[in-house]
Structure 1
């Protein structure tokens, strides 16, 4: 009975911390921009700017760019995990949490739980903007749910990487710089916005090795065929591998520092 009560209290503590982190996102313009403003802005900007040049028109370009912006969005939203953790460490918030009668792991777990909701908000913002611009998927709504789940799981697995970076980085500014650099490299050196065949040979090699290329390909195939391809299963296994590696690393680092 005591063990069960402890588990219930731990879950409640994690939920409270997740709620706290969501409020922090809503009241911080920088964090809110990552999950809400940025996907809307990039979808509109890239769609109307490159649609005519790459696909001959915005409507022909939307099936290409919607999955691309979707992945760029989850990269940006996931990176907020590391930044928020580092900010809490720098301001001494985690030291205050240690003095409270809450589960030791609650601050870290609450951040990663809040990231799931942040990712869902960012994904919905991306897809809704694409729909308003004229994007119409050729598959049933259930398959839209499937690509959302794949995108959320991919973003959440990446959140563990950024959480680990946030725990070991020297400053929140460093985390932001690393996040921006990796987001730009992973999104632009992929098939997110242009066909890989149009790139120079060295960049084609890099783009084909980029994991985000395969995530985008998996989502596009689901939207085109209404079926889960082998690429999608490989992506899910890759995401699971990231979690199995970086979740223990992040928890171990967190326990050592706190």
Structure 2
């Protein structure tokens, strides 16, 4: 009798877990279908990295590194990271829009896990990061950049960058729950992206900055991510920057994700 009861509990847990994942994937599919019907939502991860890559490379390559070819190892990781950080704000923007339009009120009446809409949104945005990475790296490759460590290490560098962007998306999801409009998130994300990107090693070598700015740039998480990408793609080794990026990303998820889920549960 007791054995049968335990089997029933195990089966119920497996069923509940399967149902949870199914709900999350359904919500993720919903968000992807919205992109399908509104392709303009992908402009920030398709056209923008191309424009920034071409513009920065040919405008500043000669001034900063002497020629375009010497500047590519700096600018390609920089534009990629800038694009990923910027696109991660879409999680908060979409979350805020769904709350403002009353979509979550309809979700309450559905027999789905309450966390599914949030988890599905965060999951579906991974596709945006993959697209941003493809266009950023692809544009750099067409211009003349090559990963010196080979494409295997380039793949590792891209996965690390996407994971970092996914971790940052939890911050913007929390912001989306706290602010009152999607426009506010867009403004904040632009300001945060510009500050983090330009006060880092994304566009210029840190040694060229004034001493007091070097201190800020050295502790900037974006610097660690950009340098980690360079270490993996160009040198093929796991440096302290790679470990720092992993640690920072995991800490963000461990701290921000539970807070976001808790506030989200109260909001809906």
2:114 is aligned with 1:129: no
| Residue in structure 2 matched with residue 237 of structure 1 by the alignment | 247
Aligned-partner Cα distance in 2 for 1:29–1:176: 18
Aligned to 1:59, the other structure's residue is in SS state helix
Q: 1:1-258 alignment to 2 at 5 Å? A: 1-28=11-38, 31-258=41-268
Aligned-partner Cα distance in 2 for 1:242–1:190: 19
Greater shift, 20-29 or 43-52, is seen at: 20-29
Q: Which has the larger radius of gyration?
A: 2
Aligned-partner Cα distance in 1 for 2:41–2:194: 17
Runs (4+) off by over 4 Å: none
TM-score by length of 2: 0.92
TM-score by length of 1: 0.96
Cα drift, residue 198 of structure 1: 1.8
Aligned-partner Cα distance in 2 for 1:39–1:21: 22
The question of whether the paired residues in 2 share the 8 Å contact of 1:22 and 1:118 is answered with: no
Cα drift, residue 60 of structure 1: 1.4
Cα drift, residue 94 of structure 1: 0.9
Aligned-partner Cα distance in 1 for 2:141–2:51: 14
Per-residue Cα deviation, 1:52-78 (whole angstroms, up to 9, x for no partner) = 111122211111101101110110111
Unpaired segments ≥5 residues, structure 2: 1-10
Unpaired segments ≥5 residues, structure 1: none
The question of whether the paired residues in 1 share the 8 Å contact of 2:53 and 2:79 is answered with: yes
Aligned to 1:132, the other structure's residue is in SS state helix
